[in-house]
Amino acid sequence: MSRSHLPVLYPEVLAGLKPAPGGKYIDGTLGAGGHAAGILTRSSLDGRLLGMDRDPAALEAARAALAPFGERATTVRASYTQMADAARGFAPVDGILLDLGLSSLQLDDPARGFAFQSDGPLDMRFDPESGMTAAEIVNDWPLDELTDVLHAYGEERHNRRIAQAIGAARPLKTTRQLAEVIRNAVGGRRERIHPATRTFQALRIAVNGELEAVTGVLPIAVSLLKPGGRLAVISFHSLEDRIVKDYFRRQARGPQDDPSAAAPAHFVPVLNEITRKPSVASAEEIARNPRARSARLRIVEKL
């Protein structure tokens, strides 16, 4: 793998998961299989990996990347929320990785509808063969529900203004049309990011039920770890990172009404926080891959 193709926080993930010969690992978000290949290389000659992804195109790419590892790698097309079923007969494991969000394969393919810089259908589904598309939310949802999605999942200040503009422009068919409507609605305010960024993030989260999926998978993943096993999670926006941070803290330090207070006497910790502060990408990695700028890696160890 050339350095320009290294997945996000690659050395940090491997240092955190510490893959070792004979170990068993789960990658819940295979993508192109870059992290998975690293885990299999470090756990040579007999470490094994179970990899999952909802996206058939990602699975195909990952299968090609993992072919050199033969039967040491198993791939499954499923949501990581199905991890307990997929890992039946394989768990308990030594390490689990969740690299949340979308892959460059998905972002760079206009037909998937994730990018406002290119023109494609308003789709945004990780699994393009099932579930609701972004077009349904954009064109069919009541405007107050659309406003709520933009507010809750995009933290978009101009939620109402954008929802009204979308309502007036319906039906919208393509990513570029939507990006234009948003740009016209919020004008040329001098922002650091494109005015459509938060709306696209909000729609993607809603389409894929991303926050529910992360919330649901964390206890499942912990239950599949051996004592001493590690869970590494990379998130790309603050809503996701907050869910991960709060769950890890509660399992490590007890209920968190007052984070500075001692844990209640009866509290039995389940996890040890390896990263109290998340790891972030180096300046060198961000220069190579600007998407790494928002990545946050948190790692816990099961007690």
Ligand X SMILES: C[S@@+](CC[C@H](N)C(=O)[O-])C[C@H]1O[C@@H](n2cnc3c(N)ncnc32)[C@H](O)[C@@H]1O
Q: Which of residues 103 and 147 has its CB atom nearest to ligand X in the complex?
A: 103
Decide: is 103 part of the binding site for ligand X (CB under 6 A). yes
Decide: is 126 part of the binding site for ligand X (CB under 6 A). yes
Contact pick of 31, 113, 154, 195 for ligand X (by CB under 6 A): 31
Contact pick of 17, 32, 39, 172 for ligand X (by CB under 6 A): 32
Decide: is 40 part of the binding site for ligand X (CB under 6 A). no
Minimum Å gap between C-beta 265 and ligand X is 37
Decide: is 16 part of the binding site for ligand X (CB under 6 A). no
Contact letters for ligand X, residues 53-82 (x by CB under 6 A) = xxx--x--------------------xxx-
Contact pick of 29, 159, 201, 251 for ligand X (by CB under 6 A): 29
CA–CA separation, 284 vs 197, rounded Å?
Answer: 24
Decide: is 244 part of the binding site for ligand X (CB under 6 A). no
Minimum Å gap between C-beta 193 and ligand X is 19
Decide: is 153 part of the binding site for ligand X (CB under 6 A). no
* 3-state SS track over the chain: CCHHHCCCCHHHHHHHHCCCCCCEEEECCCCCCHHHHHHHHHCCCCCEEEEEECCHHHHHHHHHHHHHHHHHEEEEECCHHHHHHHCCCCCCEEEEEEECCCCHHHHCCHHHCCCCCCCCECCCCCCCCCCCCHHHHHHHCCHHHHHHHHHHHHCCCCHHHHHHHHHHHCCCCEHHHHHHHHHHHHCCCCCCCCCCHHHHHHHHHHHHCHHHHHHHHHHHHHHHEEEEEEEEEEECCHHHHHHHHHHHHHHHHCCCCCCCCCCCCCCCCCEEECCCCCECCCHHHHHHCHHHHHCEEEEEEEC
Piece of the chain touching ligand X by CB under 6 A; list 32-40, 86-94, 251-259, 266-274: 32-40
Decide: is 34 part of the binding site for ligand X (CB under 6 A). yes
Nearest residue (beta carbon) to ligand X: 31
Decide: is 101 part of the binding site for ligand X (CB under 6 A). yes
Decide: is 201 part of the binding site for ligand X (CB under 6 A). no
CA atoms within 13 A on the CB side of 143: 12
> Which single residue is written with the structure tokens 């004008």?
187
Minimum Å gap between C-beta 139 and ligand X is 24
Minimum Å gap between C-beta 95 and ligand X is 13
Q: Which of residues 173 and 288 has its CB atom nearest to ligand X in the complex?
A: 288
Residues that bind ligand X (CB under 6 A): 7, 28-29, 31-35, 52-55, 58, 79-81, 99, 101-103, 126, 213
